[in-house]
Amino acid sequence: MEVIVTAYSSTPWETDEEEFITASGNWVRDGIVANNLLSFGTKVRFPALFKDKIFVVDDRMHPRKGYYHVDIWFPSHQQAEEFGVKFTEMEILAETD
């Protein structure tokens, strides 16, 4: 599936009132992505950007972002900003109910 990929960090202007807690109630960590289409716990990969690294959908985005936009969590705002905006293929590895 072709998606827009952006990045975010745990900064007040990029998150809601709980900067380090995802929409599913977990602490942020490396490998977390936000998406509005897939269920929490779904495992995905972006081969063109990260080769075999597996990410897990554990957060949500603002509804205006739609379904085909993925936000990858980074530990710092600078890293997220440097990542920028990319268009790439996302592989769904294991979807949960």
- Amino acid 13: pLDDT: 64
Q: What is the pLDDT of residue 10?
A: 85
Condensed to tens digits (0 to 9), the pLDDT of residues 4-62 reads 999 999 876 666 677 788 999 999 999 999 999 999 999 999 999 999 999 999 999 98
Angstrom distance (rounded) from CA 69 to CA 97: 20
For residue 96, pLDDT beyond 80:
no
Say what the pLDDT of residue 45 is: 98
The beta strand positions in the chain, using DSSP E, are 2-8, 32-34, 43-45, 54-59, 69-73, 86-89, 91-94
Find residue 51's DSSP bridge partners. Answer: none
Contact 9, 49 (CB under 8 A): no
| Region of residue 66 (phi > 0: left; psi between -120 and 50: alpha; otherwise: beta) | left
Mean pLDDT across 73-87: 96
pLDDT of residue 34: 96
Going along the chain from its start, the domains and CATH numbers come out as 2-94 (2.40.40.10)
Q: Sorting pLDDT into bands at 50, 70 and 90, what band is 87?
A: very high
pTM of the predicted structure, to 2 decimals: 0.89
